[in-house]
């Protein structure tokens, strides 16, 4: 393989995993790109040069020339620039996206004509949710004679290392309002208001999960031709799950409209988010 693979956000939490794996298969052909060249360079050194560094701001309109020699772009950051993606597709650069926002994925779908013109393919929903959830739903759809509705349950562990963009997206969507398909009709719903119980395997048992704005529930209705789908979220710690519910009901999460509150939960270390949230809920319960 003589063409380059450009991983945007390639030195981030998710991007470094993708970059490292591809760098082992295609040493010297994989580029970890982002706005912080020093971080990209340090990561490149950690891979013994198998992954190359690049300074890239996808919001800069003058970065088109950096796509020279690139065959595939893997987008590992949230809120990409639409013009950058469109330039990729029109130049024949294949595009892979792990984003979870349906609004963003819909924008890429609207670039279909440009992709055909450039001879490029866009592969969307390749993460966990959407991604793995879509594959599991499709597999189950094949096993059944008829599927009218899908319920997807996601449990997030507290010990895993989550990328900053994923944590920030979760925090920002606690108050989100979005549209789902319900029995063939459109319905407006909100995160962490409706709930549903299910039984998780491996001895976890029965848990209650809450509606959340994952894009698989919108995508699967179209791709599988079913009447409705819903995605439900809970955490491995029931206390944390109900902490989110309490924060929503008490109006605590309305503070997330302010940048300072979002930064408190997400910076400087995204792994502290659940600790901080539990601390806030503890203070509320004592009051």
Q: Which of 213, 209, 265, 272 is nearest to 236 (CA)?
A: 209
Question: Please, what's the b/e burial string for 204-218 (b: 16 or more CB within 10 A of its CB; e: otherwise)?
Answer: eeebebbbbbbbbbb
User: Which of these ranges, 10-19, 40-49, 102-111, 166-175, has the smallest mean pLDDT?
Assistant: 166-175
Q: What's the pLDDT score for residue 164?
A: 63
Whether 37 has a pLDDT exceeding 60, the answer reads yes
Q: Give me the mean pLDDT over the 50-58 stretch.
A: 94
pLDDT in tens, 181-211: 887 789 999 999 999 999 999 889 999 999 9
| pLDDT classification of 88: cutoffs 50, 70, 90 | very high
Tell me, what's the pLDDT at 286? 47
Residue 84 has pLDDT above 80, yes or no: yes
Looking at per-residue confidence, does 268 or 8 come out higher?
A: 8
Domains of the chain plus CATH, in order, are 4-123 (3.40.50.720), 132-286 (3.30.360.10)
Choose between 173 and 254: higher pLDDT.
173
Buried b (16+ CB within 10 A) or exposed e, 128-161: ebbbebbeebeeebeeeeebeebebbbebeeeee
Over 60: is that where the pLDDT of 283 sits?
Answer: no
Q: What is the percentage of the chain residues whose pLDDT exceeds 70?
A: 84
pLDDT of residue 125: 82
């Amino acid at each position: 393989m003589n063409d380059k693979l450009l991983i945007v956000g390639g030195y981030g939490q998710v991007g470094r995993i993708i970059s490292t794996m591809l760098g082992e298969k295609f040493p010297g052909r994989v580029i970890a790109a982002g706005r912080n060249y020093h971080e990209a360079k340090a990561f490149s050194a950690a891979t013994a040069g198998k992954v190359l560094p690049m300074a890239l701001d996808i919001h800069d309109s003058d970065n088109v020339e950096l796509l020279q020699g690139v065959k595939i772009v893997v987008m590992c950051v949230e809120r990409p620039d639409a013009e950058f993606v469109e330039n990729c597709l029109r130049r024949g650069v294949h595009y892979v996206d792990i984003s979870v926002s349906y609004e963003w994925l819909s924008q890429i779908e609207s670039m279909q004509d440009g992709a055909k013109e450039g001879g490029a393919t866009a592969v969307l929903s390749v993460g966990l949710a959407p991604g793995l959830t879509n594959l599991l739903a499709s597999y189950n759809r094949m096993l059944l004679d008829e599927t009218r509705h899908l319920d997807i349950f996601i449990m997030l562990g507290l010990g895993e290392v989550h990328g900053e963009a994923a944590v920030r997206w979760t925090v920002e969507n606690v108050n989100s309002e979005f549209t789902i398909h319900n029995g063939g009709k459109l319905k407006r719903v909100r995160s962490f208001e409706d709930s549903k119980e299910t039984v998780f395997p491996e001895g976890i048992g029965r848990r209650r999960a809450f509606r959340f704005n994952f894009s698989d529930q919108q995508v699967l209705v179209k791709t599988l031709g079913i009447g409705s789908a819903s995605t439900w979220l809970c955490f491995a710690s029931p206390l944390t799950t109900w902490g989110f519910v309490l924060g929503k009901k008490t109006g605590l999460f309305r503070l997330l409209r302010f940048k300072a509150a979002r930064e408190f939960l997400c910076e400087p270390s995204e792994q502290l988010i659940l600790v901080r949230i539990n601390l806030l809920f503890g203070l509320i319960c004592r009051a």
